[in-house]
Structure 1
Amino acid sequence: MPKPYYSLFAVFIIVSCHAQTYSTTSTACAPSKCGTISISYPFWKKSSTNVVEFCGYPEFGLECLDDHAIIRFPTDTYRVSEINYDDHSITLLDIDILEQPCPRARHNVSLQNLPFSLSSLDLNLSFYFNCSSYPSSVEHIVCLQHDKNQSYVFVAGEEVKNGYGWVRECEEHVVVTVKEEEIDVSNLISDFGDAMKKGFVVDWRRGEDCAVCEESGGYCLFDPSTKQSSCLCRDGRTVAKSCRKGTQNVGRKIAIGVGSAAAGALIVGICVYLFIRRRKNSYVMSYIQSRSLSSDPSSKDTEKGSQSYTQSIIPGVHLFSYEELEVATNYFDSTKELGEGGFGTVYFGKLRDGRSVAVKRLYENNYRIVAQFMNEIKILTRIDHPNLVKLFGCTSRHSRELLLVYEYISNGTVADHLHGHLSKPGTLPWHIRMNIAVETASALKFLHLKGIIHRDVKTNNILLESNFCVKVADFGLSRLFPHQATHVSTAPQGTPGYVDPEYHECYQLTNKSDVYSFGVVLVELISSLPAVDITRHRHEINLANMAINKIHNQTLQELVDRNLGFESDFKVRKMISGVAELAFQCLQSSKDMRPSMEEVVETLKDIQSDGKNRSQPEVMDISSTSDDVVLLKDDPPPPSPDSKAVSNTTTPNTSC
């Protein structure tokens, strides 16, 4: 065959294959039934046909077993009892409990990263199974009694009214989601079984492009390789959005031609993208590495040259060899792990000179990770404050991995002590928490004066020394703030529960974003609760929202950790009330309503000194300084300002 015809033959093969794929996919995308369940976009019926593009989202494939539609999540399997395409909701039944006369849930609902969310129609129930200690005033579940041990059910969050201690004597805690309309909360013991068997509702997110496609009579396809949707028309055409454009015959020819060209362009685009990315990574790595090094890695001058170049970019940064840190961490022994973050794992290490260090081992060596690596070095080498963690150095270009070396802080994080593995009643009394708040705020004030926004303020990033002095850490997401700028426009980053809502909505980062996150930290210090907890009532999953509601409704006592002496010690009550008021101001949705970090420090020091100096109780008169901000107004304090409820606890010296 002459060479010119090879190209025509190749085009013919490509067009034929595309046409066959569209025909097969069009048949597979047609709505189907499984028992009484109608399956159409975004759901699709699984079959043995291997179709590259899904008729809907990949996670929404349904199996049909014995006329029952089944959906499999990464950890759980559910029966689908109803799909409401108008409300974009689906009702799910836990298969494990359907045949049980007395349902016994084995796991929490886990949606993970699926495009689902729990519906506002749902209610969470907390089950505590096989409890050896329990509140005698609460009715137990008779059908789940195990020997002398009992099981209980509560509306999630209500169990705390019966104290905390007894729940630690329960074998298992499971949170179950049911439809709120199916249960009488005043009669949980008799109603929970039927409610569980009627399932719960989750909502799904539907793309606008797919809605336009369906309205024009097409089927919405989803390509997992490009993460893009397209519209497959009934006549075999594929278009970007709607099937109403153009005539069928012309449109089909155009679609086939465009599809063929797109396939070729996609391959070329991927190659170009990989080439550019490789060049970009190479450029970044060359930025932090020595271009003047000997080509022979075994040369004696190699490490010296590398260190000289690194220090010429960032003066004062010590360069460690990978082998030195490998030995210091016992070859990154898993037993040496101190914690894990979004960009790497931190290990405890012991250097040859005897210093204890924390070594952050970054996950990958790509452009994004290198940017975080360089950003943290740049930030930490230009600041020096007693409440900021110190950077000792980093690795060189010849390291197998990027490693950062910090001073070792021995006493864990504030999160560990509040609601983590180090949390015990009474071990973190109020005067220590107050000191943590003051020192953390002082560190953030210092950063802001230096033109630095931390951007990831949270209790997991506040380290504690043995005497409970603060060291703020983790500057991978921090930003240098331009002089006289009002904000920095950047995509929101941070930790859920701490991110400034105005920053999240408007993409405008300011130092008031740190103030909002610090407000969440203050609430954690008051309550000992985590910033986000999906086992709480749906209106209280986010701690900031819970705190705003409690303070606004003058029910602060429901938020405060009972072990702090809020009800028994006047001075503690006065200080906690003041800190709650400050947290309320920090958590305002508008940045203009929040105080500056400098004002926060002054307020905290005033509260702290007032608490130390006050010896007689006074009636509090806390009023709003603005009509737009509702502040805390508390009842007169109870008697016994001389109570020893807190002072009796033995605590370490907190002098820094």
Structure 2
Amino acid sequence: MIDLTIFILTLISIFPSFTSQKPYCNQTCPGSILNNIPYPFGFSSGCEIRLNCTTNSTVVIGEFAVQKLTQDDLLVSLPAKCGREVKTLHHLYGENYAPTSDNAFLMENCTEKVLTCSVPESTIQPNLQVIYCGGQEDVYSNVSCYSGDRNDMFLGYDNVTKTGCRFLLSGVVVKIVGAKPAVSLNVQVVKLGWWLRGRCRCSDDAICTEFVSPVDGGGAYRCGCKDGYDGDGYIASSGCRKAKPVVSSHCNTLKFMFGHCKGSERAGVLVGIIAIGAALISSISLMYCYTRRRTNANSRGKSNRRFCKAKGITIPIYSYKEIQNATNGFSDKQKLGTGGYGTVYKGKIGKGEWVAIKRIKHQYGDDIDQVMNEIILLSSVNHPNLVRLLGCSFDKNDQILIYEFMPNGTLSEHLQRERGSGLPWPVRLTIAIEIAQGIACLHSAMNPPIYHRDVKSCNILLDYNFKTKVADFGLSRLGITDSSHISTAPRGTPGYLDPQYHQNFHLTDKSDVYSFGVVMVEIITALKAVDFSRRHSEVNLASLAVDRIGKGNLDEIIDPFLKPIEDVSTLNSIRKVAEVAFRCLAHDSDMRPPMTEVANELEHIKASNFAT
């Protein structure tokens, strides 16, 4: 009986510990590209801010996919779509999150034009020129741009919906420095800020920022650790921990030698000196090993220092072992292809989805510069037709980049019949349009612009539905806003290289236009850009195409897969695309059209020849 009483009392004493446990919060979405979901986000009812994990491993808010999630904000995909009701925006306003004032919403079918954007019209317009709603020739005339007061933290839902606009076309996020747009301009996305409801529950060494919720007017707050502390600042999470202190001596060796320490201090220092002497002796015995390993250590240290200097980069960093496991030790069976700058493997990081892993070759003096250049540039842009960078690794003196996996390979492989028997013309035209849209974003939506410098068919990736992504930004360069060109040694691929750039070392946006012109000719002809098996005068595809198109003999070089062309509208479409390519291949760069115009013309060709 006594034992039973003790047992019952024990249960009563420990019961509060069970009832006081925090509800379980599942922070894992198996297969998702989003790693390390931070507090307070998760996918179960026990999480303070709940997200959804779909069956295809996509993290979503409402119907919109989450592209990036940090302790500061969320980046949500808002692809351009005609006829999307403005009220769809309510999915982006939750109890704990809302669009910030960094956003601008592009809307159509407005009762009157509402142009209050903090983004200049000259920056927005090139992106809208490649979007068509309702078959209009000038969609921009029917699109309004709304953004709120930048002194406010968030955009109010009522303010957006009261603009008199019926449809939500897309979104733009711009980073502002002073009164002018800075380098980073993300299109077709929305930035959400988040908060916790109620009164502050921050750790002692954190700063609490209180404000009014833009959704329901209730109390809201965010935590952040004070200077000198690490962590997220929340009591329910990691809180704040003091940064590792710098150790300093109370009485240094000089004071000991000249007798300025007290007896107890001198004794302590004496013990310290003996310990230091022993350590020095041990260090000498290790010097040989250190010398042998110094070269590799310096190389790795250089990579890491360079990486750390690239501020603002938030992509995940993986260990060399994780990359080895993902590629089965860089197995040939998982090799996707080898190019001039590295080998690409198919792999899985952990239990996630397939990714493409590029291992950079070490045959150039500026390997690290090219890798860092690609990371910086891909981290600053966001466009559905530009490949996404998912992570990197800098261990074992290797530079490795991880991208989204594109299962349908490259455009070149399809044109050369290395995959499939050939592509129908509507698919080829859509691919050309999407390439043009991606490059147009680099040239016109970025400030300063980005010049790709290596546009070619084997750098055009395709997914299961032949959606197109422009890849390989290792040679890309930032342009100069107030200059027509930048002077740099020609780099690129023979057959695609702008002849004027090769001649005068002047890199401009028109250099990419020329390269894209070659890709368009490849799409029409399925011929290689350079082929020494052709006659001497026809080795270079650009020269061959300019000759045949200029003489009106395009039929001689059209891909036989597309013949016979019984549909007049298809033949007209091919000829119009060839005319655009002809203009892009003009020797004088001033005669070439800008990429926004090219994308616009290709969209017109598609709209006038095919029912979409």
TM-score when normalising by structure 2: 0.50
TM-score when normalising by structure 1: 0.46
The higher-RCO structure (CA 8 Å, 6+ apart) is: 2
